[in-house]
Amino acid sequence: MNFVVLSTSRGTVFESTLNRISDGSLSAKCLGLITDRADRGCIEKARTANLPVKIVPIQKDEPREDYDKRLDQAILDLVGSQSSKLIAHSFIIACQGWMRILSPWFVRKWRNRILNVHPSLLPNHKGAHAHELVLKSGDNISGMTVHMVEESVDTGKILLQKSCPVRQDDTEETLKARVQELEKEWYPRVLEMIERGEIRLPE
């Protein structure tokens, strides 16, 4: 299995995934990282692992689909000359801290190939402020969801969920840290389970 990582974050889940490859737990091949800015923390993780990095900068007032067409080209550049062969055989776009909503055009092109992790137990608390919503709701359990990406935000097929307690003295930051530990542990494991056939992606 081959995959490309999209990230606009510090790269904590990305680093955990690379560690699983390094220790032999995950035999999939990461073809590289795509991000939007040269100062993103995830870039350092990619370069430490000697992986290629593509920076696709956001242009002012650029329509989302136009940006995603440049993103699509960056993916094809990382896949290289064997793109049709590799993409036909178990290829995944792994969103690991990718904070941009993907356009319907992009999702249709890569349907059933895009994985995302969301910091709540979907379908509860969709969107960008999940931890705030969890705390305001009074829920005593939160967690994370690894799911397929569809055109509507945070609605794709759920592949795996893991939970953690919400404590009375939690802030958004303390809850975020606890959920991130789950993400670091279980996103790479989902890739392992897909590779072994224990999780089957939609056709």
Catalytic residues: 118
The whole-angstrom separation of Cα 21 and Cα 97 is: 19
The whole-angstrom separation of Cα 16 and Cα 84 is: 28
Preceding omega of 123 cis (within 30 degrees of 0): yes
How are the residues of the chain apportioned to helix, strand and coil, as percentages rounded to the nearest 5?
Answer: 40, 20, 40
CA torsion angle 19 21 99 111 (round to 10): -160
Distance of CA 182 to the CA centre of its chain: 14
The whole-angstrom separation of Cα 118 and Cα 134 is: 13
- In the three-class reduction of DSSP (H, G, I as helix; E, B as strand; rest coil), residue 180 is classed as helix
